[in-house]
Amino acid sequence: MTPTIRLNDGNEIPAIGFGTFQIPNDGSTYAAVSEALKLGYRHIDTAVAYFNEAEVGQAIKASGIPRDQVWVTSKLWLQDFGFDAATKAIDSSLTKLGLDYLDLYLIHQPYGDVPGAWRAMEAAKQAGKLKSIGVSNMTPKIWQKFVPEFASKPAVNQVEFNPYFQQKPLRELLAADDVKLEAWAPLGQGNQALLNDPVITALAKKYGKDVGQIILRFENQSGVIVFPKSVHVARIKSNLDIFDFKLEPAEMSAIEQLDTGKGQHDPDADGVKEMLLDAFDVHAND
């Protein structure tokens, strides 16, 4: 059984999941999610803007695993912010996934009518369509802009996180409300400097693990929820195999020292909302 992390609403989320960002909806998502479930993953992360919710749902159904044993996350795209649009979008995601409820639903990009979208998510939670609700890509600045106005606190904030970008100021802010951090790009999106960092490669050698496993273990021991993505079976398998060793405090500290305080994506930058709206039209096929 995968270890779980308790959220501030009392729900238990599997500490490691399987990410589906940029896996195409040409059968590849179905194959990758099917493989992940077969190997023991019980937490799948998708989004309407990944255009692969239907294949995620089909793989879960075909797996034969009872619904209450698979944690499923999806996300609301900013085209659908505001109360009415978000209400429709939640139902649309459930239909595509073929599910009665989602375990976690997130505000994907926090721009525009975020408060209206959040109210719709709270209402859907009341109605039993969503078990937990949260946000994504919220910096301290964006968090302070919106979250104090919310009637309820998010359970998670899903942001870029890896040993080179450890989000320390944000984590201090989230800790006050026991909001858990979820890492997207937990392996640094192929950052070669990170994957060849001498601190990490030395630990990989010591523990007989690969670099990815050391990074994911560091993140897990830091209390961060991770869901690495891969379409390669060996990698899907190895990413899950991080619970048979433990990094020592001095080793955790050595990796903590690698933080540069900078990521590849800056949600506070000018024009991000416009760039994202231009990048995806989630209603193109409606």
pLDDT tens, 219-253? 999 999 999 999 999 999 999 999 999 999 999 99
Q: What confidence category does residue 256 fall into, taking pLDDT thresholds of 50, 70 and 90?
A: very high
Q: Give 104's strand partners.
A: 73, 132
For residue 190, pLDDT over 90 is answered with no
Active site residues: 50
174: amino acid identity, one letter: L
- Alpha-carbon distance of 182 to 224, in angstroms, equals 6
Phi, psi (rounded to 5 degrees) for 149: -85, -15
19: amino acid identity, one letter: G
- Alpha-carbon distance of 67 to 99, in angstroms, equals 9
**100-121 per-residue burial string, b: 16 or more CB within 10 A, e: under 16:** ebbbbbbbbbbbbbbbbbbbbb
Strand pairing class (225-226; 180-184): parallel
Describe the strand order of the beta sheet including 102-107 as a list of residue ranges: 18-19, 43-45, 71-76, 102-107, 130-136, 156-160, 180-184, 225-226
Q: What confidence category does residue 209 fall into, taking pLDDT thresholds of 50, 70 and 90?
A: very high
Structure tokens given for 284: 């193109």
For residue 285, pLDDT over 90 is answered with no
103: amino acid identity, one letter: D
For residue 2, pLDDT over 90 is answered with no
**Averaged pLDDT of the chain:** 96
For residue 11, pLDDT over 90 is answered with yes
DSSP 8-state code for residue 155: S
pLDDT tens, 153-184? 999 999 999 999 999 999 999 999 999 999 99
- Alpha-carbon distance of 263 to 170, in angstroms, equals 13
The pLDDT value recorded for residue 224 is 98
Place of tokens 């960092």: 197
- Alpha-carbon distance of 25 to 273, in angstroms, equals 25
**pTM exceeds 0.85:** yes
Q: What confidence category does residue 83 fall into, taking pLDDT thresholds of 50, 70 and 90?
A: very high
242 three-state secondary structure: coil
Q: In whole angstroms, how large is the CA radius of gyration of the chain?
A: 18
Alpha-helical runs (H) found in the chain: 28-39, 53-63, 83-97, 114-126, 140-146, 168-175, 192-195, 198-207, 211-221, 233-240, 249-256, 272-279
Q: How many CA atoms lie within 13 A of 228 on its CB side?
A: 27
- Provide the 10 A C-beta neighbour count for residue 191: 16
Residue of 21, 79, 38 lying closest to 286 (CA atoms):
79
Please, are residues 16 and 42 in contact by the beta-carbon 8 Å criterion? Answer: no
For residue 286, pLDDT over 90 is answered with no
* Domain extents in the chain: 4-279
CATH number of the domain located at residue range(s) 4-279 in this protein? 3.20.20.100
Q: Tell me what percent of the residues of the chain surpass a pLDDT of 90.
A: 95
